[in-house]
Amino acid sequence: MLPSLSIVIPAYNEEGSIGATIEDALRVGAGASGELEVVVCDDGSADATAAIARRYPVRLVEHAQNRGIEASMRDLYRAARGAWVFLMSADRQWPMEALVPMAAAAEAGADFVIGVRGNKREVYTPYRRALSWTYERIVRALGAPGGDPGSIKLARRELLDRPLVAAGVFAEGERVIRAARGGARVVEVPVPFHRRARGQATGARPRVVARALADAARVAASLTIGRPRAR
């Protein structure tokens, strides 16, 4: 078992799924570590997401207004207290049971475990598949041995709560890149992935994609010439 574990869940307008996600986290997480906490970040939801989360024994981080997924993840990683942090979405596209093989990989010596989705062709539109393919290739080109950085992940807390250059969704890729370049053992574990049943995805919006590409260029410059500095 892992010595201590924080399951962190970013959520925005997920009243239809947040309760079941938390219940799964408490159940599955208890089998992965004897010292478990669940931390939820409500990113300025307009629905009852925060109210539902308060019904459970979790820590709740609240944003007064919507700040985006990376701001939520950054605050969650900072709030986490466990030696290991497991990032899980609130929309139930990944089953919480994916933690089991990922935790086994950590116990076997991995420092950073990426849950790789093998069926994105069946779940994503051609546009989303193209974005995902491009994201993965950029991250690999910058030094990450593993693909699918936008998926769920289990890592040592210090590899996630760290200074970065990227401020948008590319930050998750930067975390993988810096972990690998710093000598961490990054491994992939196949995980199931399902169509989104509720809510609306926002990661493929044009302005989000444009910011990710700009961040990728900034990260590349930071890694090669030292500017801009991660912070």
* 39 domain residue, yes or no: yes
pLDDT of residue 201: 54
CA distance 223 to 230: 10
Domain coverage including residue 219: 5-225
pLDDT of residue 27: 98
* 160 domain residue, yes or no: yes
Determine contact, residues 49/13, Cβ cutoff 8 Å. yes
Give the CATH number for residue 66.
Answer: 3.90.550.10
pLDDT of residue 121: 73
Number of domains composing the chain:
1
* 48 domain residue, yes or no: yes
- Token pair listed for 140: 């690999």
* 69 domain residue, yes or no: yes
Q: Is the pTM of this model over 0.75?
A: yes
* 131 domain residue, yes or no: yes
Place of tokens 């769920």: 152
pLDDT of residue 176: 97
Q: What angle do CA 169, 90, 99 make, to 5 degrees?
A: 90
* 230 domain residue, yes or no: no
Which residues in the chain come in under a pLDDT of 70? 196-204
